[in-house]
Amino acid sequence: MFHLRVNGETRMVHEGSTLSEALDQLGYRGKQFAVAVNGTFVPRHRHESYALKGNEALEVLAPMQGG
């Protein structure tokens, strides 16, 4: 297991997880989120190949429609 900082909270995911696997473990499966790793957004099509090292800061956010 390794640590991630997810929206400001410390969370654990399996060691060697890709970004997409980490999102599944964190309960974000199947939803349309934008995800930034260490302050920079990673395009959605790269989530599956994006290898996490541990201790990254993730910002997971949903779009808002209100105006």
Partner 1 sequence: MTLLSTEELIRYSRHFNLDQVGVEGQERLKNGSALLIGAGGLGSPLALYLAAAGVGRLGIVDFDVVDRTNLQRQILHGSAGVGKPKLESARARLRDMNPYIDLELHPVRLTSENALDLIAAYDVVADGADNFPTRYLVNDACVLTGKPLVSGSIQGFEGQLSVFNYRGGPCYRCLFPSPPPPGSVPSCAEGGVLGILPGVIGCLQATEVLKLLLEIGEPAAGRLLLYDALSLDFNQLRMERDPQCALCGDNPIITSLVDYEDFCGSGQTDNDPVVEIQPQELVGMLDKVLLVDVREAYERLICKIEPSLHVPLHRLADHPWPESGDRTMVTYCKTGIRSADAARRLHAQGFNDVRSLAGGMMAWIDRIDPRQEKY
Closer CB to partner 1, 1 or 34, in the complex: 34
Residue labelled with tokens 């199947």? 30
Among 41, 49, 54, 55, binds partner 1 (CB under 8 A): 41
Residue labelled with tokens 């201790």? 55
- Closest distance between partner 1 and the C-beta of residue 30, in Å? 8
DSSP string, 9-59: EEEEE-TT-BHHHHHHHTT-TTS--EEEETTEEE-GGGTTT-B--SS-EEE
- Closest distance between partner 1 and the C-beta of residue 6, in Å? 14
Interaction between residue 9 and partner 1 (CB under 8 A) = no
Q: Which residues bind partner 1 (CB under 8 A)?
A: 31-32, 34, 36, 39-41, 43-45, 59, 61-67
